[in-house]
Structure 1
Amino acid sequence: MKTEQDRGEARCNQVLDAAADCFRQRGFHGASMAELAKAAGMSVGHIYHYFENKEAIIAAIVERDVAEILALLDALYDDEDILQALIREAGNDIGESPCSDDALQIEILAEATRNPKVAATVQEGDRKARTRLAETIASGRERRGLPPLGDLEARTEIIIALFEGLMLRQVRHPKDVDAATIAVLRSTLQTLLET
């Protein structure tokens, strides 16, 4: 039996999914609260019960995406060799994860360039994901008996840039990520993680 909290979470996710669709299609400023409400199948007043404004909805979308990234990284700890798990998983399901929703991610980043509140939300989400990735790399190296990296932060930044760059490439050059691209990505990651 669903609790009140479960129903509330389901309604919030319903709003977030509808908002993501609207932002993807019409942009942050082009999507009105009335459109979001219609897409979510509820009243505008009901949406305001859960979210103060569109900025709060973007913040929740970013938080949901970051939570997914953290969960993916946490799952790697179950693997005996974290570094090999990172390399093996690289390129799997590119384009299928909500975190790789190109149009939505680009829309949020564009809004972050204009809106300091959205920028702060995006930057905090990035800090959390970046920190966890660095911790995951450090833990993987420690388990292997490899020395700590003096340039761990820089390597983490480059790894993130690789994945964000692939997202942007999908906009500029839409095509399936082929086996050769994934092989080069994994080889690059192996160099960054293991040397």
Structure 2
Amino acid sequence: MVPNPGRCERESATLRRQQVLDAAADCFRRHGFHSAGMAQIAREAGMSVGHIYHYFENKEAIIAAIVDRDLVRIIEILEGFRNAEDIIKAILNRVAVDIDTHTDARDSALQLEILAESSRNPEVAKITRTKDAIGRKLLGETIENGRRQRGLPPLPATDLDARIDVMIALFEGLNCRGVSHPQLNRDGISAVLDKVLRQLLED
């Protein structure tokens, strides 16, 4: 097979971008957004600062790409739910996995750092709020599809919005709890979350 130079170049660029994002995420976790300079990110990534600027205009652009990467993961999870024979059951079956994800110390540190920067930086706030709006919309559609599968009536828009906010708050709150109280009783939390989510999804 004849190599495709264009394809190889694109794949190399994608790998380089991921290399920068991984390095930046580690720097943001350890030092915070403001203390992590481009030179530090470059050293972590094993490339020059100029090379990083070839892929990202500034640190805000790096955060945008990290948030986008997280959004892709969320979309993939929700798409998996939407293709399930029983959507509500699929959501409930994933509770233990989501608890582990949201109490992971490294992930929690990064998520909290991005949220903190969102409270100070309008550009970062715009990025995180756009991600939130997309995730909320997809989650709402997933819940309604799951209720329809079970013959449950559609929820009023305001009720659905409130349930979505509560569900998201439950899991995002675990990021904070994972930092404040690393020795969480995950089995106990999973059992309680199962009950709460059943009410939010089925009631």
TM-score (norm 1): 0.95
Q: CA deviation at 1:93?
A: 5.0
Q: Is the counterpart of residue 155 in structure 1 residue 163 in structure 2? A: yes
5+ residue gaps, structure 1, are: none
Q: CA deviation at 1:174?
A: 1.3
Q: Is the counterpart of residue 170 in structure 1 residue 178 in structure 2? A: yes
Q: CA deviation at 1:176?
A: 4.2
Residue 116 of structure 2, aligned match among 110, 113, 116: 110
Distance in 2, Cα, partners of 1:122 & 1:86: 24
Give 3-state SS (helix, strand or coil) of 2:41's partner.
Answer: helix
Alignment of 1:2-151 (within 5 A): 3-92=8-97, 94-96=99-101, 101-150=107-156, 151=159
Q: CA deviation at 1:91?
A: 2.4
Q: Is the counterpart of residue 184 in structure 1 residue 192 in structure 2? A: yes
Q: How much is the aligned-residue C-alpha RMSD, in angstroms?
A: 1.5
**Greater Cα offset, 17-26 or 143-152:** 143-152
Q: Is the 8 A contact 1:91 1:185 kept in 2?
A: no
Distance in 2, Cα, partners of 1:52 & 1:154: 37
Q: Deviations over 1:65-116 (max 9, x none)?
A: 0110110110112320001110111121533478x81000000001001100
In structure 2, do the counterparts of structure 1 residues 3 and 176 end up closer, same or farther at CA, with 3 Å as the change threshold?
farther
Give 3-state SS (helix, strand or coil) of 2:34's partner.
Answer: coil
Q: Is the 8 A contact 2:84 2:90 kept in 1?
A: yes
Give 3-state SS (helix, strand or coil) of 1:92's partner.
Answer: helix
Identity rate of aligned residues, in percent? Answer: 53
Aligned residues: 194
**Greater Cα offset, 48-57 or 4-13:** 4-13
TM-score (norm 2): 0.91
**Greater Cα offset, 167-176 or 30-39:** 167-176
Q: CA deviation at 1:167?
A: 1.3
Q: CA deviation at 1:177?
A: 4.4
Q: Deviations over 1:153-177 (max 9, x none)?
A: 1101100000011111111111244
Distance in 2, Cα, partners of 1:176 & 1:66: 26
Q: Deviations over 1:121-177 (max 9, x none)?
A: 000001111111111001111111110011111101100000011111111111244
